[in-house]
Amino acid sequence: MTTSHRLLSRIAATLCMLAAPAVFAQQKFPVIPLTAGMFVVQAEVAARDAERQQGLMFREKMGPNEGMVFLFDAPATICMWMKNTYLPLSVAFIDESGKIVNIEDMKPHTTDSHCATKPVRYALEMNQGWFRQKNIKPGTVIGGLPAPARTGQ
């Protein structure tokens, strides 16, 4: 490979890496309303493996009652992390009956694991502090959660 080919390859690779956050940031998922006590959340749904892996990465803002709900095929001890995530978030881990098991605050750009304290079927990410500000605690039931599809994709 000539020097000019190597240079062009490096430039192309760099441009692809720089474009990735913009592509991810613009992708939104289907939105459903969820209820948490008297509050309504407009939650994007991440139901497939690729959607769950992307989550809220590269997002620069999220509305005050917006979030993302992650659906899992079967109850499991789920852990979340914040690599490539710009927003400080709180995550509520939710069991099959819709009850919040535990809530964790997560710092942006970290690979710290934040885990459910027992097997759960859902995780709901909101702007950090949202649950605390609304007095929503473990034991609160989240309404409107969809039944997870068995996609495995």
Q: Facing residues of 139 across strands? A: none
Decide if 1 is inside a domain: no
Decide if 81 is inside a domain: yes
Could you tell me the CA-to-CA distances from 118 to 61, 93, 121, 142 in Å, in that order? 30, 9, 10, 17
Decide if 18 is inside a domain: no
DSSP state, 146?
A: P
Q: How many CB atoms lie within 10 A of CB 71?
A: 19
Decide if 8 is inside a domain: no
Q: What is the pLDDT of residue 31?
A: 96
Encoded tokens for 103: 């809530």
Residue reference for tokens 């407009």: 42
The band of 123, judged by pLDDT with boundaries at 50, 70 and 90, is: very high
Query: Highest-confidence range of 57-61, 85-89, 144-148, by mean pLDDT?
Result: 85-89
Are the C-beta atoms of residues 71 and 45 closer than 8 Å to each other?
Answer: yes
What is residue 93's three-state secondary structure?
strand
The band of 147, judged by pLDDT with boundaries at 50, 70 and 90, is: confident
Q: Facing residues of 33 across strands? A: 42
The range of the structural domain enclosing residue 104 comes to: 29-143
pLDDT of residue 125 exceeding 50, the answer is yes
Across the range 103-115, mean pLDDT stands at 96
Decide if 5 is inside a domain: no
Q: What is the pLDDT of residue 136?
A: 98
Nearest-angstrom CA–CA distance, 43 and 82: 18
pLDDT of residue 153 exceeding 50, the answer is no
pLDDT in tens, 6-61: 444 454 444 444 444 444 445 679 999 999 999 999 999 999 999 999 999 999 99
Domain of 121: which CATH number?
A: 2.60.120.1140
Nearest-angstrom CA–CA distance, 66 and 72: 20
Decide if 75 is inside a domain: yes
Decide if 21 is inside a domain: no
Decide if 3 is inside a domain: no
Q: What is the pLDDT of residue 65?
A: 97
Averaged pLDDT of the chain: 86
Beta-carbon contacts of residue 127 (< 8 Å; ≥ 6 apart):
62, 64, 66, 67, 87, 88, 89, 90
Overall number of domains in the chain:
1
pTM: 0.81
